Each structure stands twice: as structure tokens, then as C-alpha cells.
Amino acid sequence: MASSGLWALDYEVHGDVQGVFFRKYTEDQGKKLGVVGWVKNTSRGTVTGQVQGPKEKIEIMKNWLRNVGSPMSRIDRAVFSNEREISTLEFSNFTTKY
């Protein structure tokens, strides 16, 4: 069975992550890494989204979401779920949803 090496995962970041440009920095980081997906604010005060790309870039993005974020953010925790291998990318770029 051939492996495409592409992975996808869902994420939700908790803490002081709204009103601090977290979505903009997340979109910029995704584009910089060359991964695709999306990011948006939730009504619960968190930021959620999905990221897709090569496994090694997904790991870098997970670390960034867990430990870096935007300069004014405070990340309490990042929850990752539904991590899975995919055959093709489902998005063409990284975007902010509203």
C-alpha cells in the first residue's frame, strides 16, 4: 500500500486567542510552511481549524499552535483530534473563515 505522506488534523486552541490577531498569524504560519487548511474563531472564545500537508510540516504547525501563536496571545492548551492520513489535499491554500 503506497503512502502519500499527506496528513490532516483538526485543532482547537484555548486561552487568550481572540482579539489578538491569532487567526492572522495562524494563516500566515500555514502559508509560510506550505500547508493548507483554515482557521476561525468560535463562540466559546477559542480558535479552531484544520491543517493538511506533509507529516513533518503538520508537526511543526502543531508545535506552533501549542507553543507560539500570535505575539499578544496566551495559549493555555491546544487540542488536536481526528489526525489521519489523506490521499489528496482537500484545500488549495490556508484561509481564515468567518
Q: Rounded to the nearest 10 degrees, how much is the dihedral formed by the CA atoms of 69, 95, 97, 60?
A: -30
Kindly report the three-state secondary structure assignment for every residue of 34-55.
Answer: CCEEEEEECCCCCEEEEEEEEH
State yes or no: is 44 an active-site residue: no
Residue pair 22/70 in contact by the 8 Å Cβ criterion: yes
Q: Which of 41, 67, 77, 93 is catalytic?
A: 41
Judge whether 82 counts as a catalytic residue: no
User: Could you say which of 23, 63, 77, 84 is catalytic?
Assistant: 23
Q: Which residues are catalytic?
A: 23, 41
